[in-house]
């Protein structure tokens, strides 16, 4: 089976370009790359040309997710695998590849209609070391494990599970069976395609937007502490306080962003275990402190 290898990039749309520039640099520590295009700019985390494309189009949501494969033959094999599953896929034009700064690109949709891209050969700017937007103790952990993870909307969780495991070739599992406040059980599913414990998650109920949160991993715990101080000083909403999830065991907190969805800012996750397991609670923390923006998990409530 062909498998994607990492969460390579995401495209987001924003209504307030300047607020996002400030937030991305001064709070998250990302680097802005502005190439003079009026409709977009880029956010960097490492040597790649970009990891996030910010489309300034008035919307405030996820626009697309870019999954990487190794090379041209892997992309061709992935295209055959997608077609064999009866799913529509389009080979992107040269111009579209150039737009994304990749050598080859497929475009399709997941079962929820989330625009999905599979690519190989990102542009890596070896002459442009990552320059954090604010002083950082250690930058971001990306490498072969991708830029982080996303929690996305997926009304039909089973259809989503089939798609991400059998079409994109990821390893996926229910990782929690958690009681919900209304007496039910939430059974979110998590997917990995490299050593990062998860690159994708869904199955936590209804969502207004395509995305609930994007998670980035810092190399140094003190960058999580610094961001925690900064959001207090700048009155940026804390959506879930510091805590550790049972699955990735990273130290993280969740903060609002200028588009009204969340950034999970994390440090120190363990690697993905080879075999599935599930939890009924988290280790500690992550109390929801922003009504309507938490994940409605009945774990570690105050």
**Closer Cβ to ligand MBD, 40 or 198, answer by number:** 198
Between CA 236 and CA 231 the distance in angstroms is: 5
User: Does residue number 151 form part of the binding site for ligand MBD (CB under 6 A)?
Assistant: yes
As a whole number of angstroms, the distance between CA 158 and CA 176 comes to 15
Q: Which does 30 bind (CB under 5 to 8 A by kind): Fe ion, ligand MBD, none?
A: none
**C-alpha pair distances (Å), 197 with each of 6, 46, 220, 268, 280:** 11, 20, 18, 11, 18
User: Whose CA is closest to 98, among 35, 14, 21, 15?
Assistant: 35
> CA triplet 211, 135, 141: central angle to 5 degrees?
50
If you compute the radius of gyration of the chain from its CA atoms, what whole number of angstroms results? 18
Residues 244-263 that bind ligand MBD (CB under 6 A): 245, 247-248
Q: How far is the CB of 264 from ligand MBD (least distance, A)?
A: 6
> Whose Cβ is closer to ligand MBD: residue 103's or residue 207's?
207
Least CB distance to Fe ion at residue 99 (A):
29
Copy the structure tokens of residue 227.
């961001």
Report, in Å, the least distance between residue 186 CB and ligand MBD: 9
Closest CB to ligand MBD among 104 and 188?
Answer: 188
User: What is the phi/psi pair of residue 135, to 5°?
Assistant: -55, 130
Cβ distance to Fe ion smaller for residue 139 or 269: 269
Is the separation of the CB atoms in 212 and 255 below 8 Å?
no
- Tell me the longest C-alpha to C-alpha distance in the chain: 55
Q: C-beta of 250: minimal distance to ligand MBD in Å?
A: 7
For ligand MBD, the closer of residues 84 and 281 by Cβ is 281
Report CA dihedral (248, 140, 64, 105) to the nearest 10 degrees: -110
Residue 245 binds which entry of Fe ion, ligand MBD, none, with Cβ cut-offs from 5 to 8 Å by kind? ligand MBD
Distance CA 1, CA 22 (A): 42
Stretch of 70-78, 127-135, 228-236, 243-251 contacting ligand MBD, by CB under 6 A:
243-251
Judged by CB, which is closer to Fe ion: 80, or 270?
270
Candidate ranges 17-25, 165-173, 211-219, 291-299; the one touching Fe ion (CB under 5 A) = 211-219
- Strand, helix or coil at 105? strand
Is position 218 an interface residue for Fe ion (rule: CB under 5 A)?
no
- Distance in Å, CB of 151 to Fe ion, minimum: 5
Q: Report residue 267 as tokens.
A: 């440090």
Token representation of residue 252 = 């993280």
Counting contacts by CB under 5 A, is residue 215 touching Fe ion?
yes
Degrees (nearest 5) of the Cα angle 123, 128, 134? 115
Q: How far is the CB of 252 from ligand MBD (least distance, A)?
A: 7
Which of 200, 264, 288, 293 is close enough to bind Fe ion by CB under 5 A?
Answer: 264
247 binds, among ligand MBD, Fe ion, none (CB under 5 to 8 A by kind): ligand MBD
Residues in contact with Fe ion by the rule CB under 5 A: 215, 264
Contact set with ligand MBD (CB under 6 A): 151, 215, 245, 247-248, 264, 295
């Amino acid at each position: 089976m062909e498998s994607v290898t990492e969460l390579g990039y995401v495209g987001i749309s924003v209504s307030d370009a300047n607020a996002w520039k400030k937030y991305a640099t001064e709070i998250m520590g990302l680097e802005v790359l502005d190439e003079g295009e009026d409709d977009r700019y880029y956010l960097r985390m490492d040597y790649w040309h970009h990891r996030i494309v910010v489309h300034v189009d008035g919307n405030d949501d996820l626009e697309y997710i870019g999954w990487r494969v190794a090379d041209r033959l892997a992309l061709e094999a992935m295209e055959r695998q997608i077609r064999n599953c009866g799913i529509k896929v389009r080979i992107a034009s040269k111009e579209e590849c150039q737009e994304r700064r990749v050598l080859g690109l497929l475009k399709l949709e997941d079962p929820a209609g989330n625009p999905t891209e599979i690519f190989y050969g990102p542009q890596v700017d070896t002459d442009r070391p990552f320059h954090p937007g604010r002083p950082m103790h250690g930058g971001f952990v990306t490498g072969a494990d991708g830029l982080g993870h996303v929690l996305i909307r997926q009304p039909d969780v089973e259809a989503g599970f089939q798609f991400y495991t059998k079409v994109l070739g990821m390893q996926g599992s229910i990782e929690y069976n958690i009681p919900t406040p209304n007496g039910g059980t939430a059974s979110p599913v998590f997917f990995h395609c490299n050593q990062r414990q998860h690159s994708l998650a869904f199955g936590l109920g209804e969502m207004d937007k395509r995305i609930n949160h994007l998670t980035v991993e810092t190399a140094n715990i003190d960058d999580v502490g610094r961001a925690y101080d900064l959001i207090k000083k700048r009155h940026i909403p804390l959506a879930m306080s510091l805590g550790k999830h049972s699955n990735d065991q990273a130290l993280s907190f969740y903060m609002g962003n200028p588009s009204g969805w969340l950034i999970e800012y994390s440090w120190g996750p363990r690697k993905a275990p080879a075999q599935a397991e599930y939890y009924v609670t988290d280790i500690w923390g992550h109390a929801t402190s922003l009504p309507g923006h938490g994940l409605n998990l009945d774990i570690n409530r105050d």
